[in-house]
Amino acid sequence: MQVLLVGCGGYAAGYVKELLTGEGVLGLQLAGIVDPYAKNSPAYALIAQKAIPVFDTVDEFYARHTADLAVVSTPIFLHHEQALACLAHGSHLLLEKPMAATVAQAEDIVKAAQQSGRKLGVGFQQCYDPVMLAVKDEIDRGLLGAPVSQRGLILWPRPKAYYARSGGWAGKKVLPDGRPVYDSILTNATAHYLLSMLWLTTKGYDAQPATACEAQLGRAYPIDTFDTIAARYTLACGTTAMLYFSHALHYDKVPRLLMEYVFEDATIRVAQTKGYVYKVTSTDHHGRVKTYGMLTAAYRHKLTGMRRAIAEGAPLTCPAQTGMASMISNAMVFANDLTDVETIRPVREDDIGIWSPGLADRLRAAFKAGKLPREMGQTLSGT
Ligand SMILES: NC(=O)c1ccc[n+]([C@@H]2O[C@H](COP(=O)([O-])OP(=O)(O)OC[C@H]3O[C@@H](n4cnc5c(N)ncnc54)[C@H](O)[C@@H]3O)[C@@H](O)[C@H]2O)c1
């Protein structure tokens, strides 16, 4: 099975390494790469060593080659155009999250995939991970009872370099040429976690979008959108999900993630143990803890999932509907066109980053209380 990789630096460098050196993605060959800045990729030496052809545009690749599967892992504002081009050339598609900059763009892509009869998988790796699939299977078989509530605390510092990378599209709402981006902590780095809430609480792999959202948004970085969010979502199953996510934190603080998915008979936890290792456990009413395992090998699971869907007709575990559920739920926080974003002050700043002293503690306190900071009489600045 021939694979086209659109984008080969940033996150996509991991796809290059998996396709060219990884084990376990049997039957996938990297036919070519589209990336006008391929030489900047940390994987470029490997690309050159394996003589993988590199093109500037999707059309240039398809003028000479074909691909059974195209993987689009480029800046968000490019997804719409590139995904449509790959589908028009007959490839199945693995589209990195978020599917596109806007819900309307994502709908275009879904329609094009339906019309061309091609598979469309979205790159939320937890939906492809055997550990999360085992959890999902137990939930869907009713072994944990009905969903009760969900909550998540993600304190992930991001440096200035994160917002400046690759032409500075990060944190933008719209580019100067008018192309929409809508990049934010919710639509990018932490998008996996609201999505997991939707996916785990919907039977089957077609997640349903949230039905309502109240959010408190903030930015400490000089960006268009927001780097901090506290939100209450009502999920389609009727339960409430609370989110507390921020990038505006000091980088020497150990990054922490804790997700809790509460069901009638057990609570599933995804916890960051050391570095970027995520342990998945459940605890039942008797305090018995079951370890499902660690989330691993994101690229391999996604590629294998797509290969199996294309070659064997296996169900897509992160299908278009699930990508749309994420898009629609994320779009809810943009309902006020970002006029409700608080400027978080005071902040501290050095060469590496910008952070708000005390913000992590304020978010932790709100997480414990199950409230938005404003319901505790607080802005995100703590005033
Ligand atoms: N699944 C995950 O955990 C995960 C993690 C990080 C990023 N992502 C997603 O991956 C995508 C890329 O994010 P990133 O952080 O790697 O971005 P990035 O800006 O760091 O890198 C994107 C790559 O696209 C390339 N590129 C730029 N313009 C291009 C063009 N016209 N044609 C082809 N390639 C082009 C860049 O040269 C670079 O190699 C986004 O959708 C992001 O949300 C997913």
Each residue's pLDDT tens digit, 164-211: 999 899 999 999 999 999 999 999 999 999 999 999 999 999 999 999
Q: Is 75 in the pocket of ligand 1 (CB under 6 A)?
A: yes
The sign of the torsion formed by the CA atoms of 272, 275, 278, 281 equals: negative
Res 296: pLDDT: 85
Give the domain range for residue 230.
127-376
Domain with 15 in it: what CATH number? 3.40.50.720
Structural domain includes residue 45: yes
Query: What pLDDT, in 10s, does the model give residues 203-242?
Result: 999 999 999 999 999 999 999 999 999 999 999 999 999 9
Does 160 share its domain with 200?
Answer: yes
Q: What is the mean pLDDT of residues 352-360?
A: 96
Structural domain includes residue 383: no
Does 78 share its domain with 136?
Answer: no
Taking Cα atoms as reference points, which of 122, 129, 97, 98 lies closest to residue 279? Answer: 129
Q: Is 12 in the pocket of ligand 1 (CB under 6 A)?
A: yes
* Final residue in a domain of this structure, among 100, 122, 144: 122
Beta bridge partners of 371: none
Give CA–CA dist 366/210, Å, rounded. 21
**Three-class SS state of 284:** strand
Q: Is 162 in the pocket of ligand 1 (CB under 6 A)?
A: no
Q: Is 37 in the pocket of ligand 1 (CB under 6 A)?
A: yes
Q: What percent of the chain has pLDDT over 90?
A: 94
* Final residue in a domain of this structure, among 97, 122, 147: 122
311 CA → ligand 1 middle, Å: 27
Structural domain includes residue 12: yes
13 CA → ligand 1 middle, Å: 9
Residues 6+ apart with CB under 8 A from 44: 8, 9, 38
Taking Cα atoms as reference points, which of 9, 20, 28 lies closest to residue 46? Answer: 20
Query: What pLDDT, in 10s, does the model give residues 234-291?
Result: 999 999 999 999 999 998 766 689 999 999 999 999 999 877 789 999 999 899 999 9
Res 254: pLDDT: 66
Residue minimizing CA distance to atom 6 of ligand 1: 11
Taking Cα atoms as reference points, which of 322, 257, 309, 328 lies closest to residue 124? Answer: 322
Choice from 35, 109, 132, 181 to test ligand 1 binding pocket (greatest atom count within 8 A of CB): 35
Q: Is 76 in the pocket of ligand 1 (CB under 6 A)?
A: yes
Domain with 144 in it: what CATH number? 3.30.360.10
Residue minimizing CA distance to atom 12 of ligand 1: 74
Q: Name the residue with higher pLDDT: 256 or 4.
A: 4
Query: What pLDDT, in 10s, does the model give residues 143-172?
Result: 999 999 999 999 999 999 999 999 899 999
Res 256: pLDDT: 87
Q: What is the mean pLDDT of residues 6-34?
A: 92
Q: What is the value of pTM for the model shown?
A: 0.97
Query: What pLDDT, in 10s, does the model give residues 53-77?
Result: 999 999 999 999 999 999 999 999 9
Residue minimizing CA distance to atom 21 of ligand 1: 10
Give CA–CA dist 370/28, Å, rounded. 46
Does 138 share its domain with 17?
Answer: no
Res 278: pLDDT: 93
Q: What percent of the chain has pLDDT over 70?
A: 99
Amino acid in the structure at residue 177: D
346 CA → ligand 1 middle, Å: 32
**Three-class SS state of 175:** coil
Does 108 share its domain with 217?
Answer: no
Q: What is the mean pLDDT of residues 101-118?
A: 98
- Arithmetic mean of pLDDT over the chain: 96
Res 255: pLDDT: 62
Does 72 share its domain with 146?
Answer: no
Residue 108 has pLDDT above 90, yes or no: yes
Q: Is 36 in the pocket of ligand 1 (CB under 6 A)?
A: yes
Q: How many domains does the chain have?
A: 2
Structural domain includes residue 381: no
Res 15: pLDDT: 97
Does 147 share its domain with 261?
Answer: yes
Res 274: pLDDT: 74
Res 275: pLDDT: 72
Does 240 share its domain with 266?
Answer: yes
Choice from 74, 190, 306 to test ligand 1 binding pocket (greatest atom count within 8 A of CB): 74
Give CA–CA dist 173/144, Å, rounded. 40
Structural domain includes residue 69: yes
* Final residue in a domain of this structure, among 77, 106, 122: 122
Choice from 4, 11, 184 to test ligand 1 binding pocket (greatest atom count within 8 A of CB): 11
Q: In Å, how far are 158, 249, 349, 368, 379 from 356, measured between CA atoms?
A: 12, 6, 9, 20, 12
Phi, psi for residue 107 in degrees, rounded to 5: -60, -40
Res 26: pLDDT: 73
Does 191 share its domain with 165?
Answer: yes
Give CA–CA dist 91/171, Å, rounded. 30
Residue minimizing CA distance to atom 39 of ligand 1: 9
Q: Is 41 in the pocket of ligand 1 (CB under 6 A)?
A: yes
The beta-carbon contacts of 378-383 under 8 Å, at least 24 apart in sequence, are: 379/218, 379/342, 380/216, 380/218, 380/228, 380/230, 380/342, 380/344, 380/356, 381/218, 381/342, 381/343, 381/344, 381/345, 381/346, 381/356, 382/358
